[in-house]
Amino acid sequence: MATERRAAPTSRGEARRHGGATARAAVLLLAVCATLAACKPVGIGDPEAVGTVAAVSVSGDVTSLSFVPDAGYEYFSGTIFQVPSTVDVWDRGWNGMAASDIPAGARIEVWTDQCAESFPVRCGVTGVRVTG
């Protein structure tokens, strides 16, 4: 199997073009790394629900969080968020933790996917962050 070898740049302009491509790639790589480091693990957007945990119940690998919403999040009034062990849960510093370690009285942010229009509303949980 033959390998391709490139000749050294023959002109200053050609050397600059090759060096420029390398520099652009390095800058792009740094930008991607910085962006990934700055990203929160939850993904895109603000949480759908913010409030306080009224009660915690653990059954198998599912933690149920009875939720009392903050003003502006009344849509989730009376909701019990079911948090399976496969859902990411973080503390204030975005460190992973178990949902079963969330205490009653904790302030939380919740990210959801589709919600069933009922009262109380039932939503799939995609992430939870304990903020206080």
Q: What is the tens place of the pLDDT at every residue in 35-74?
A: 333 334 445 689 999 999 999 999 999 999 999 999 999 9
What's the pTM?
Answer: 0.68
Confidence at residue 2, expressed as pLDDT on a 0 to 100 scale: 57
Helices (DSSP H) in the chain: which residue ranges?
12-38
* 62-69 β-sheet, strand order: 80-84, 62-69, 49-59, 107-116, 122-130, 88-90
User: What average pLDDT does the segment 109-114 reach?
Assistant: 95
φ/ψ of 119, rounded to 5, equals: -125, 120
Largest CA distance in the chain: 74
Report the pLDDT averaged over residues 82-106.
97
Q: Average pLDDT for residues 99-110, to the nearest whole number?
A: 98
